[in-house]
Structure 1
């Protein structure tokens, strides 16, 4: 792995270019100021880094992937986890704060996970169903993945989905969410059937989901712009869509509160 120009390349690779020299001068200056203030901390506990590395591994991220994402050499990560057996040393107890910050900043995003890692299908399922709800025939979406209708449907019903499939569905969702299906050859009858299928199954349309929370198991679709409130319950009736559970819960809670107020008066 080629290190970027800076302090590490100066010390470890012997580079004496202007950028590396400047980085060392800045480091030394900051070190001297910190030592005078009594705040110099060249090392930090490695245990939080070790725990984070294990968590990333449990999500399907290998050390090579973590090393590339953090720009930290894989052997240094291995030393934190299990030490250097060839040197007879155990897991590293201290690390540089900069290394700790770099590793702790790595998250198990879809882009960082291995393509065949199994993950929750929730976000994938919501995106696929939302496109059907706005008129995209499911067989068209299946074709985008090179799948048959039956295999595509089975994928959405499984308890897990491959990362590569999730990324592919997210990509065509981002591309198609505001595109008219007729522009891609969908017929009026096909669009009507897709919308009816979504309505029958209670699938929320694209506009009901927030991009930031569509993968969140705790999130719910906002059909009306007021879902989760008593007003949302009545808005469902106005748009002729059965009330969602959050709206029913809010409406029932409101009715109980009103009843309690009447009984108390």
Structure 2
């Protein structure tokens, strides 16, 4: 059994690392920038501390510049913390939970049904929870599991589906292969469809929402309507009506 004190052990470890070229300390600037990015997304210092499994004081000292250098091992753990929720954290960013609930709404799953499945039993409370910047990790996990179960099927609420799509909410298909929890993520339908298939810009004033909740190009819809009206009016009838209106009545011979 070793009789080395903790101080002696740390000293010997430091000398071994230095002799073998193992980096012990590093510049805290990249770590500070990473922490500030996480905080800009809504993460707290406590969430970051829990994700890196370190002390809150160490994180605070890095942020306020008290540490002129930081241990390389601690820096690596902090740089590995990102927006994705982890079981070691009490809270998680709520943006992914909100997007999942909204995506299920576009599939016809009512918020009241989702609230009951989550054990909340109140759709107003569910909506209030997911609109907050942060949510409990256990709640985020439950919403994620429910999303995985229901996102590929159609729910019974047709009115819910229409209202959600009229609001322009993204469906589960729009989030396919995209990190739905990333605060800066954009659903594919928004990122890819800037113009319709005929080249008209899909600006807000050129988007028409149908009764089923689908978005259409307003200009294309106008062109189709004009073409449909022209087809419904035969040419000979139109010419005949114009001829009858333009013809003069012959003078009567007495």
Is the CA contact 1:60–1:113 (under 8 Å) kept in the aligned structure 2? no
Tell me if the contact between 2:94 and 2:140 (Cα under 8 Å) persists in the aligned partners.
Answer: no
Find the aligned partners of 2:8 and 2:217 in 1 and give their Cα distance. 64
Deviations 1:171-212 (A, max 9, x none): 32122212464xxxxxxxx44333333344443332122352
Conserved? CA contact 1:69–1:106, under 8 Å: yes
- With structure 2 as the length reference, what TM-score do the two structures score? 0.54
Report the structure number with the largest CA radius of gyration.
2
The Cα of 1:101 is off from its aligned counterpart by 2.0
3-state secondary structure, aligned to 1:222? helix
- Residue 120 of structure 1 deviates from its aligned partner by 6.1
Quote the Cα distance in structure 1 between the aligned partners of 2:111 and 2:179. Answer: 23
Report the 3-state secondary structure (helix = DSSP H, G, I; strand = E; otherwise coil) of the residue aligned with 1:178: coil
Bigger helix share: 1
RMSD after superposition: 4.7
Alignment of 1:71-82 (within 5 A): 71-72=53-54, 76-77=58-59, 80=62
Residue pair 1:134, 1:205 contacting (<8 A) in 2 also: yes
Q: Number of paired residues?
A: 199
Matching of residues 201-216 of structure 1 within 5 Å? 201-215=167-181, 216=183
Match of 1:149 among 109, 118, 123: 123
Q: How does 1:1-265 map to 2 (within 5 A)?
A: 12=6, 28=16, 31-32=18-19, 34=21, 42-50=24-32, 52-53=34-35, 59-63=42-46, 66-72=48-54, 76-77=58-59, 80=62, 91-111=66-86, 114-115=90-91, 121=95, 123-145=96-118, 146-153=120-127, 158=131, 160-164=132-136, 165-179=139-153, 181=155, 190-215=156-181, 216-217=183-184, 219-222=186-189, 227-231=193-197, 241-243=214-216
Q: Secondary structure at the match of 2:197?
A: helix
Q: Per the alignment, do residues 232 and 195 of structure 1 end up closer, same or farther by CA in structure 2, a change over 3 Å counting?
A: farther
- Find the aligned partners of 1:174 and 1:155 in 2 and give their Cα distance: 20
Gaps of 5+ in 2: 201-206, 221-254
